[in-house]
Amino acid sequence: MSNKLQPVRGTHDILPGEEFQQFHTVITRARELATLYGFQEMSVPIFEATEVFARSMGETSDVVSKEMFTFQTRGEDDITLRPEFTAGIARAFISNGMQQHLPLKLFSTGPLFRYERPQKGRQRQFHQVNFEWLGDGSVEADVETIMLASHLLHSLSDKVKCKLLINTLGDPQSRAHYREALVNYLTPYARDLSEDSQRRLVINPLRILDSKSEQDQRIIADAPKITDSLSEEEKSRFDSVCSVLDSKDKKIPIFYEVIRTPALVRGLDYYTGTVFEFVSESGDLGTQNTVLAGGRYDGLIEQMGGKSTPAIGFAAGVERLKLMMEGNWSYAPDLKIFILNVDEAVSTSALLTFASALRWMLKAELDEVRSKTVASVEILRQKNFKKGLDKANQQKATHVLIFAPDELEKGQVLLKDMTGPQYNLDARFIQYDNTWAQFLQLLQIKA
Ligand code: ATP
Ligand code: MG
């Protein structure tokens, strides 16, 4: 064993700078859209009693049967690190008596844990932004949820290419019908199926439909479709959802091609009715190209011991969204200001007083205009003027204030805009006073 400490397999540090900025941008956009669509943020524990996940997601699902991080505490409680949000939120909904506040729209974000084979876009600790809408079983809720998902992807970049796959799983009865039809069809081919799918044929035959094996896919191509097992009511409900999403007049902003996909089953037992996935065609995601996935789960709350409550939700993987965005990022530049002190004659107290005044002023001004702009102010000590500017430039400064005793006496400071191509030109003296008016104007915070 190497004596250098390494992160545990499948875990990653999110390093400061661009990497964290991207991570943060995904979560910030999701949070803004959550507010826009009337979702409230809530947080649930990172671990729960194992049965919270095992019972809800289904014992035979991939997640429960092989991907959970489960352990016993010193008190011998059986605990699992959360592999998803939905089950924990359903548990919280019941244990906090949130029934009386329905309908509820809930947003959450944070780390999740699955014991998987690590690959690009597949980690053992990853992050999601998660949306759940409880207490509304309408077609409108399905469409609005998908609009929100689509809006989220589009808000990250209008350049990424995605497809929206959509299907319906019907109610448990239709699903049982379908399961039977599928098993009847597949049984004669049992020996030709992949090893995984032979096992699934007994314990979870629907799961065979999203097998990645080519051999399995050939067999599945002619399998009966779930649509044939749906009641008329379910069919027409699903048609309503699809026809609004797909409407040619494009009044509803779904930015991506909508593809009805009868083989889309999703991996978990609790799904009922509409299910969907956004599959990215941008970035280098390989088979990890599902960036966002969700569906309706009308039976879950009741099954977990609450009152029957219709619900729909989705989650997007933050790391996958980051991969999808590769090369397509556009950030509003934050203000990054350095106060460059090139003269030892400047007293520490003058420098700190100036920095402090600048920070308090900027904070108040930005709050007042409710600007999303983030400003930072740092002191840079460097005797050599040119080196000082280079250093600020390396750190992606937007502005440098050059601080020297002579100017200081005149109430002046030299400002350099570092955002142009030739940052060492066009410096100008600005007068600073109690109003900072000229300064704010130059930073484009105030007219
Ligand atoms: P996959 O088929 O890729 O395993 P899944 O169906 O298991 O996905 P969900 O449980 O629906 O995934 O989770 C929703 C989203 O969370 C996925 O679309 C993906 O973006 C992300 N995600 C799931 N598992 C991981 C993981 N191990 N690492 C990174 N992101 C993940
Ligand atoms: Mg998975």
How is the chain split among helix, strand and coil, in percent rounded to 5? 40, 20, 40
Spatial separation of the C-alpha atoms in residues 60 and 207, rounded to whole Å: 10
Please tell me the distance between residue 182's alpha carbon and the centre of ligand 1 in angstroms.
25
Please tell me the distance between residue 266's alpha carbon and the centre of ligand 1 in angstroms.
10
**Residue 48 class from Cβ within 10 Å (0-12 exposed, 13-18 middle, 19+ buried)?**
middle
Give, rounded to a whole angstrom, the gap between the first and last alpha carbons of the chain: 62
- Those residues of the chain that have pLDDT short of 50 are 424-425
Give residue 424's pLDDT.
47
Spatial separation of the C-alpha atoms in residues 30 and 106, rounded to whole Å: 12
* 370-394 pLDDT per residue, tens: 776 778 888 888 888 889 988 998 8
**Residue 232 class from Cβ within 10 Å (0-12 exposed, 13-18 middle, 19+ buried)?**
exposed
Please tell me the distance between residue 281's alpha carbon and the centre of ligand 1 in angstroms.
16
Please tell me the distance between residue 97's alpha carbon and the centre of ligand 1 in angstroms.
30
C-alpha 262, offset from chain centre:
26
Specify the residue with its C-alpha closest to ligand 1, atom 5. 267
User: DSSP letter at 404?
Assistant: -
Specify the residue with its C-alpha closest to ligand 1, atom 11. 293
* 146-186 pLDDT per residue, tens: 999 999 999 998 888 999 999 999 988 898 899 999 999 99
Specify the residue with its C-alpha closest to ligand 1, atom 26. 122
Is the CB of 126 within 6 Å of ligand 1? yes
Q: Which of 270, 264, 278, 274 is nearest to 238 (CA)?
A: 274
Q: Please tell me the pTM assigned to this model.
A: 0.87
Amino acid identity of 71? F
Q: Of ligand 1's atoms, which has the minimum distance to the CA of residue 128?
A: 16
Give residue 344's pLDDT.
81
Considering every ligand atom, which ligand is closest to the CA of 162?
1
Amino acid identity of 14? I
Q: How many residues does the chain have?
A: 447
Give residue 434's pLDDT.
65
Is the CB of 320 within 6 Å of ligand 1? yes
CA distances from 96 to 57, 90, 92, 214, 306 (A): 21, 10, 6, 46, 11
Give residue 447's pLDDT.
67
Is the CB of 293 within 6 Å of ligand 1? yes
Spatial separation of the C-alpha atoms in residues 30 and 445, rounded to whole Å: 26
Is the CB of 132 within 6 Å of ligand 1? no
CA distances from 270 to 106, 113, 304, 445, 447 (A): 18, 19, 11, 50, 55
Is the CB of 315 within 6 Å of ligand 1? yes
Q: Which of 21, 28, 17 is nearest to 396 (CA)?
A: 17
Specify the residue with its C-alpha closest to ligand 1, atom 22. 317
Q: Of ligand 1's atoms, which has the minimum distance to the CA of residue 62?
A: 7
Sign of the Cα torsion 78, 79, 84, 90 reads positive
Q: Which of 178, 140, 132 is nearest to 295 (CA)?
A: 132
Please tell me the distance between residue 53's alpha carbon and the centre of ligand 2 in angstroms.
14
